């Protein structure tokens, strides 16, 4: 062939470049046949994980808090009321203690205690079950109220089902500590502030704090509390795809590492909001669960793997809030047009020429290169066309693929 550089013998094939800078980019990232689906959730979306710090507030406040406890002595009383609809001290003394007169005082004490715990209420000279009483019988637990000063850790983070995260009793310092002891300087600076509405709204609500693991009910809180600076650091990790949420860190001196219920937001809804924040909505193909991109918009690694790690700089989910910047790995890519698909397939074909391009090998490489673009009308060059292009770019140090193409074409391999 006139004007063409030819390889005259097979010994010339050994004169291959060893210069890494001359190697094609695909040799650096490796050749991947087909598309990997590792890290793809079963619904077709990539795995989404969001994290953020949880802001914690802490107060010392006077109030009444009831914690769940086993009170076996009250269960027979509640059962008697449920059976009869109403009861009184004489009835309890007679049917539970079998001493209508001598045990009447003890029976009345039990009724008074049950009323104090909101399990019973007086009606028409008798006692009837309250809603809390029915609940106590069903759960075999009683909320025992205690009046005092409490240290309360709380948060208004919408990821948390309850704002009350930890409750501990607090003992006021003694006069000696206030006047002469180590507390005297600190006591002068006791900033009191009005409790926010979201804390006051927790009154009457039964919840399980992150620390303690025991159900509690806040019956009453004073309007103001002493703001306390404490060492707190909580992080929330939301596995959106797996519908899991874990909170980790510290509340004061207590370690926290627990799973809680995640927000009731589907992974699909989260993903759509994420791609909107990054301006990718118009590129998303919901049928293919993939981003439609042009050939020039893809890096060499993305052209081969057909996946992209998408960085979301300011994730913000409606009703849940903002999260730290995050990267969603293994987002599938698809070509945008026939032209993009053809250029992409040609690039993939050239990247596969890492051995002598025999007819069988070249056909297999072509099939593999165009496989991801079955929906398009792709056009890829023949071996002869690629060999001619390699000859036109021939230098004193040709690339390995140039040798492999020209040799196979000249020798009709």
* 1-36 confidence digits (pLDDT tens): 334 333 333 233 333 322 323 333 333 333 333 322
Residue 177 lies in a domain: no
Say how many domains are in the chain. Answer: 2
Closest C-alpha to 117, from 151, 167, 70: 70
pLDDT at site 113 = 94
Mean pLDDT of 233-262: 95
Instruction: Give percent of the chain above pLDDT 70.
Output: 85
Burial string for 319-333 (b: 16+ CB within 10 Å, else e) reads ebeebeebebebbbb
Last residue of a domain, one of 82, 105, 138: 138
Q: Are residues 18 and 113 in the same domain?
A: no
Task: Mark whether 81 and 1 lie in a shared domain.
Answer: no
Residues 305 and 410 in one domain: yes
pLDDT bin (cut points 50, 70, 90) of residue 44 is confident
Is residue 29 within 8 A of residue 106, CB to CB? The reply is no
Look at residue 353 and tell me if it is in a domain. Answer: yes
Alpha carbon separation from 336 to 62, 133, 213, 282 (Å, rounded):
64, 65, 53, 11
pLDDT score recorded for residue 396 = 73
Q: What's the pLDDT at 5? A: 38
> Mean of the pLDDT values across residues 158-170?
95
Quick check: is 188 in a domain? no
Distance of CA 252 to the CA centre of its chain: 24
- Which range (30-44, 107-121, 168-182) has the least confidence? 30-44
Boundary of a domain, candidates 84, 111, 138: 138
Nearest to 365 by CA among 377, 347, 353, 356: 353
Domain shared by 410 and 310, yes or no? yes
Query: Is residue 280 in some structural domain?
Result: no
Please report whether residue 361 resides in a domain.
yes
Q: Are residues 307 and 412 in the same domain?
A: yes
The more confidently predicted of residues 39 and 261 is 261
C-alpha 84/C-alpha 86 separation (Å) is: 5
Clarify whether residues 27 and 78 are in a common domain: no
**pLDDT tens track for 319-362:** 999 999 999 999 999 999 999 999 999 999 999 999 999 999 99
> Does residue 92 lie within any of the structural domains?
yes
pLDDT bracket for residue 385 (50, 70, 90)? very high
**Above pLDDT 90, what percent of the chain?**
72
293 & 413 share domain: yes
Query: pLDDT tens across 298-317, in order?
Result: 999 999 999 999 999 999 99
The larger pLDDT score, comparing residue 32 to residue 270, is at 270
- What's the confidence (pLDDT) of residue 29? 30
Assess whether 110 and 5 both reside in one domain. Answer: no
**Residue 104's domain spans which residues?**
71-138
Which residues make Cβ contacts (< 8 Å) with residue 21, sequence separation at least 6? none
Same domain, 104 and 9: no
Asked whether residue 335 falls in the same domain as residue 399, the answer is yes
Q: In sequence order, what are the beta bridge partners of 36?
A: none
On whether both 1 and 86 belong to a single domain, the answer is no
Q: Is residue 225 part of a domain?
A: no
Span 367-387, average pLDDT = 95
What is the structure's pLDDT at 398?
Answer: 79
**pTM attached to this predicted model:** 0.77
What's the average model confidence in pLDDT over 130-151?
93
Q: What pLDDT does 26 receive?
A: 31
Q: Is residue 116 part of a domain?
A: yes
How far apart (Å, rounded) are the C-alpha atoms in residues 105 and 408? 108
Q: Across all residues in the chain, what is the average pLDDT?
A: 85
| Section 93-117 average pLDDT | 88
Averaged pLDDT, 57-63: 96
Q: Are 141 and 69 in contact (CB under 8 A)?
A: yes
CATH assignment of the domain containing 81: 1.10.10
Identify whether residues 14 and 110 lie together within a single domain. Answer: no
Write out pLDDT tens, residues 277-288.
999 999 999 999
Q: What is the mean pLDDT of the segment spanning 43-71?
A: 93
Last residue of a domain, one of 88, 116, 138: 138
Q: Which residues contact 354 (CB under 8 A, 6 or more apart)?
A: 27, 31, 400, 401, 404
Segment 160-175 shows an average pLDDT of: 86
């Amino acid at each position: 062939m006139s004007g063409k550089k030819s390889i005259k013998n097979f010994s010339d094939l050994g004169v291959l470049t060893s210069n890494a800078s001359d190697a094609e980019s695909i040799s650096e990232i490796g050749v991947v046949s087909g598309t990997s689906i590792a890290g793809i959730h079963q619904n077709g979306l990539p795995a989404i994980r969001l994290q953020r710090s949880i802001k914690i507030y802490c107060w010392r406040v006077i109030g009444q808090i009831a914690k769940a406890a086993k009170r076996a002595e009250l269960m027979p009383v509640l059962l008697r009321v449920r059976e009869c609809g109403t009861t009184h001290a004489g009835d309890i003394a007679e049917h539970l203690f079998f001493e209508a007169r001598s045990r009447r005082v003890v029976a009345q004490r039990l009724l008074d205690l049950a009323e104090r715990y909101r399990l019973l209420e007086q009606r028409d000279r008798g006692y009837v079950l309250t809603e809390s009483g029915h609940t106590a019988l069903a759960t075999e637990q009683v909320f025992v109220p205690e009046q005092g000063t409490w240290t309360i850790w709380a948060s208004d983070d919408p990821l948390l089902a309850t704002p009350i995260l930890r409750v501990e009793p607090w003992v006021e310092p003694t006069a000696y500590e206030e006047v002469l002891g180590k507390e005297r300087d600190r006591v002068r600076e006791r900033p009191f502030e009005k409790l926010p509405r979201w804390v006051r709204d927790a009154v009457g609500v039964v919840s399980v704090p992150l620390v303690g693991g025991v159900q509690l009910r806040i019956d009453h809180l004073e309007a103001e509390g002493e703001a306390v600076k404490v060492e707190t650091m909580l992080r929330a990790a939301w596995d959106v795809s797996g519908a899991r949420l874990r909170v980790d860190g510290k509340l004061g001196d207590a370690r926290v590492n627990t799973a809680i219920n995640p927000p009731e937001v589907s992974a699909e809804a989260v993903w759509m909001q994420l791609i909107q924040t990054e301006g990718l909505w118009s590129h998303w193909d919901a049928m293919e669960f993939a981003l439609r991109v042009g050939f020039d918009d893809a890096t060499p690694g993305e052209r081969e793997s057909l996946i992209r790690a998408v960085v979301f700089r300011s994730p913000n989910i409606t009703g849940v809030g903002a999260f730290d910047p995050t990267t969603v790995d293994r987002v599938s890519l698809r070509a945008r047009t026939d032209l993009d698909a053809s250029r992409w397939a040609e690039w993939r074909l050239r990247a596969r020429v890492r051995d002598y391009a025999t007819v069988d090998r070249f056909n297999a490489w072509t099939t593999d290169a165009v496989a991801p673009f079955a929906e398009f009308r792709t056009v890829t060059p023949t071996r002869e066309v690629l060999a001619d292009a390699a000859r036109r770019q021939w230098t004193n140090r040709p690339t390995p693929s140039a040798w492999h193409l020209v040799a196979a074409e000249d020798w009709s391999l």
